[in-house]
């Protein structure tokens, strides 16, 4: 019997290997199997190797009996127990031993709701530079594209920490108003101390820049420290790739020097990463130094390339592994004039309050607790809007969007609403225990998970709980080597996962009365369902934590 955490990736890998038992097997590469997700298909199968793929491997598509038997008997790390594997019109259909899967998953939740970091990431550390937060700007100077970059950086920092990466966030926010706005948005970013020594720290940088200055300082416009040729420097660095060919003369400002100072200080405190191999350590100069990821809006990307090159120019020990994560623009629909980040937040806050009044009544919503609830719902709505589109792509923002409330199934507020429904469920059970209606929750080993037979119950386990660790790992993937750094940021992964989980949970919860009549012969099924709901709740909480959104206990 399989032990340990079941994984979709591990299962697909094992199934593909079983279907191609010989390395010399002809046919196309890539994955043959895929995981089913839709309720309709999950009624008869959990994984499918489509007929077209089978025809490419086996001529007429008929899988030999010995291979079919091998797939049906497949065991291995991360592979759930298989009930049957049959050849159908659609292809090779595989169904898992569902009662056993329920039991093994729901009896060992920690492996799914709190996955452990892998050894490949736990020794890594990076500096995460949110470019839009540099300088003394206040919240009103923050554009929507910059806000998007801030939210991407905030989620990325937490997603990487979840995987065991040590993250140093730069810069420390200087403006008190901007700091308060970010806190209101549930953005977890460091703030500058009142005794910052940044101005003094730029003196040394100015001394170094004098050696590279293109013109005397008296000929410079106001606010410019010096003028340097980045094009000339770039031509002397053949290993640097990806920089804009139009980079030439740079007018260095005090703000840029301030940004460089903060990056230098962070690099000094950042632990050195262990080389990945002996050969890499020998072939790189400073190869074990920390890595830097600059999260930048598209409107600031060109200027940030200048800062990157300036850092390398003035500091020979500057990290060689630097990556620019550029976020696409935000196109606003329904506004003739540009909208600042605070104006956008206030609009969504007003819409959320109005929707809450319509649903619950003005007297109920005026309760003091509702101020915090509406702020949390607004933050969720803003983050899901901004993060549900791939960060590289342009996103459209509809200011008249009516689906941001709890009624909109794709909104962050809808996710928060369903999270609150789960809290209400467990509150109801606890009150029932105190009133003597239900017995105390038994030990998990005493639960009978064969009583979980509803279609919606398998959907929640198979599409929600089991894939959750892989969703977390896919939201941010860091690959560090001596030549450079590669980061994959799928910030939309967690948002989309939560939306689908909320829809599956809502559909199930609306159909099934979990806290049934207080009859002893019904308690077994109730406890099995409550354990499933506990797992769903912990997945909700874990996913929301990567967005710094607090789960609501009531709405």
Q: What is the pLDDT of residue 199?
A: 58
**Cβ contacts of residue 22 below 8 Å, gap of 6+?**
none
Which spans in 188-287 are helix H?
198-210, 230-235, 254-269, 278-283
Q: What's the token pair of residue 549? A: 């959104």
The model's confidence at residue 24, banded by pLDDT at 50, 70 and 90, is very low
pLDDT digits (tens, 9 = 90+) for 472-499: 998 988 877 666 678 888 889 999 999 9
Q: Quick check: is 76 in a domain?
A: yes
138 and 66 in one domain?
A: no
| DSSP secondary structure letters along 284-329 | -TTTTS-EEEEEEEGGGHHHHHHHHHHHHHH-TTS-S-EEEEEEPP
Please tell me the least confidently modeled range out of 55-59, 79-83, 334-338, 425-429. 334-338
Question: Does residue 114 belong to any structural domain of this protein?
Answer: no
pLDDT surpassing 50 at residue 124: yes
My answer on whether 132 and 89 are in the same domain is no
Tokens 């038997």 map to which residue? 69
Q: Residue 93: what pLDDT?
A: 96
Residues 168 and 299 in one domain: yes
Residue 12 maps to a domain: yes
Same domain (yes/no): 61, 181: no
DSSP 108-142: -THHHHSPPPPHHHHT-EEEEEEGGG-SS--GGG-
Same domain, 144 and 293: yes
Together in a domain, 73 and 129: no
Greater confidence, 360 or 137? Answer: 137
Q: Tell me: the pLDDT tens digits for 168-218? A: 999 999 999 999 999 999 999 999 875 455 556 677 788 777 777 665 656
Tell me, what's the pLDDT at 253? 86
The answer to whether position 451 is within a domain reads: no
Q: How far apart are CA 163 and CA 155, in angstroms?
A: 13
Mark whether 70 and 175 lie in a shared domain. Answer: no
Q: Could you tell me if residue 322 is left (phi over 0), alpha (psi between -120 and 50 degrees) or otherwise beta? A: beta
| Local confidence band at 375 (pLDDT 50, 70, 90 cut-offs) | very high
* Residue 213 belongs to some domain of the structure: yes
Task: Lowest mean pLDDT of 257-271, 281-295, 421-435, 471-485, name the range.
Answer: 281-295
**What global pTM score does this model have?**
0.90
Cite the DSSP H helix spans in 388-491.
412-434, 455-460, 468-475
* CB 471, CB 125: distance < 8 Å: no
Note whether 230 and 326 are same-domain residues.
Answer: yes
pLDDT tens sequence across 380-421: 999 999 999 999 999 998 887 666 655 665 689 999 999 999
Helix pair 369-387, 341-360: axis angle to 10 deg? 120
Q: Is it the case that residue 85 has pLDDT exceeding 90?
A: yes
Give residue 288's pLDDT. Answer: 46
CATH of the domain at 47: 3.30.1360
Instruction: Report long-range pairs for 474-477 (Cβ below 8 Å, ≥24 apart).
Output: 475/155, 475/159, 475/546, 476/156, 476/159, 476/160, 476/163
Residue 245: give the domain boundaries: 125-271+288-332
- What is the structure's pLDDT at 408? 62
405 in helix, strand or coil?
coil
Structural domain includes residue 250? yes
The total number of structural domains in the chain stands at 2
Instruction: Flag whether 55 is in a domain.
Output: yes
* Residue 417 and residue 555 in contact, taking contact as beta carbons nearer than 8 Å: yes
Are 16 and 164 within one domain?
Answer: no
Q: Is residue 240 part of a domain?
A: yes
Q: Residues 83, 213: one domain?
A: no
Asked if residue 292 and residue 231 are part of one domain, the reply reads yes
Question: For residue 309, what is the domain's CATH number?
Answer: 3.40.50.620
Give the Cα separation of 73 and 23 in Å (integer).
Answer: 20
Residues 206 and 325 in one domain: yes
């Amino acid at each position: 019997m399989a032990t340990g955490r079941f994984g979709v990736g591990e299962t697909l890998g094992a199934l593909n290997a079983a279907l191609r038992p010989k390395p010399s097997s002809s046919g196309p590469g890539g994955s043959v199997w895929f995981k089913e997700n839709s309720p309709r298909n999950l009624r008869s199968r959990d994984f499918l190797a489509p007929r077209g793929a089978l025809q490419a491997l086996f001529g007429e598509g008929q899988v030999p009996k010995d291979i079919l038997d091998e797939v049906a008997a497949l065991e291995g790390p991360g592979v759930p127990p298989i009930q049957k594997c049959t050849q159908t019109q659609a292809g090779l259909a595989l169904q898992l031993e569902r009662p056993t899967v329920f039991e093994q998953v729901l009896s060992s939740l920690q492996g799914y709701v709190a996955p452990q970091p892998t050894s490949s990431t736990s020794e890594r550390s990076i500096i995460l530079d949110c470019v839009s937060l540099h300088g003394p700007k206040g919240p009103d100077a923050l554009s929507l594209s910059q806000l998007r970059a801030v939210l991407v950086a905030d989620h990325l920092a937490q997603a990487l920490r979840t995987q065991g990466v040590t993250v140093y966030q730069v810069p420390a926010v200087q403006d008190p108003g901007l700091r308060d706005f970010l806190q209101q948005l549930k953005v977890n970013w460091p703030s500058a101390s009142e005794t910052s020594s940044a101005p003094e720290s730029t003196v040394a940088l100015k001394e170094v820049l004098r050696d590279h200055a293109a013109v005397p300082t008296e000929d410079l416009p106001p606010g410019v420290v010096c003028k340097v040729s980045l094009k000339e420097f770039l031509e002397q660095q053949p290993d640097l790739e990806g920089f804009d060919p139009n980079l030439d003369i740079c007018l260095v400002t005090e703000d840029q020097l301030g940004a460089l100072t903060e990056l230098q200080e962070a690099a000094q405190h950042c632990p050195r990463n262990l080389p990945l191999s002996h050969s890499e350590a020998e072939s790189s100069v400073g190869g074990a130094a920390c890595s830097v990821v600059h999260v930048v809006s598209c409107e600031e990307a060109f200027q940030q390339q200048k800062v990157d090159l300036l850092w390398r120019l003035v500091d020979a020990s500057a990290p060689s592994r630097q990556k620019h994560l550029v976020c696409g623009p935000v196109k606003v629909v329904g506004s003739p004039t540009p909208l600042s980040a605070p104006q956008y937040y206030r609009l969504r806050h007003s819409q959320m309050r109005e929707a809450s009044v319509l649903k619950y009544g003005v007297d109920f919503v005026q309760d003091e607790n509702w101020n915090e609830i509406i702020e949390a719902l607004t933050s969720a709505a803003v983050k899901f809007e901004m993060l549900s589109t791939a960060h590289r792509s342009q996103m459209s923002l509809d200011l008249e969007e009516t689906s941001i409330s709890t009624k909109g199934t794709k909104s962050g507020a809808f996710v928060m609403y369903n999270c609150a429904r789960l809290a209400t469920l467990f509150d109801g059970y606890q009150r029932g225990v105190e009133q003597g209606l239900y017995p105390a929750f038994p030990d998990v080993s005493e639960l009978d998970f064969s009583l979980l037979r509803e279609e919606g119950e398998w959907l929640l386990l198979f599409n929600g709980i089991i894939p959750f660790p892989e969703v977390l790992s896919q939201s941010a993937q860091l690959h560090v080597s001596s030549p450079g750094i590669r980061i994959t940021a799928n910030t939309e992964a967690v948002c989309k996962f939560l939306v689908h989980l909320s829809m599956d949970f809502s559909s199930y919860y609306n159909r099934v009365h979990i806290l049934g009549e207080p009859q002893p012969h019904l308690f077994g099924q109730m406890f099995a369902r409550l354990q499933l709901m506990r797992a769903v709740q912990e997945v909700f909480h874990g996913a929301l934590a990567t967005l710094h959104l607090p789960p609501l206990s009531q709405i």
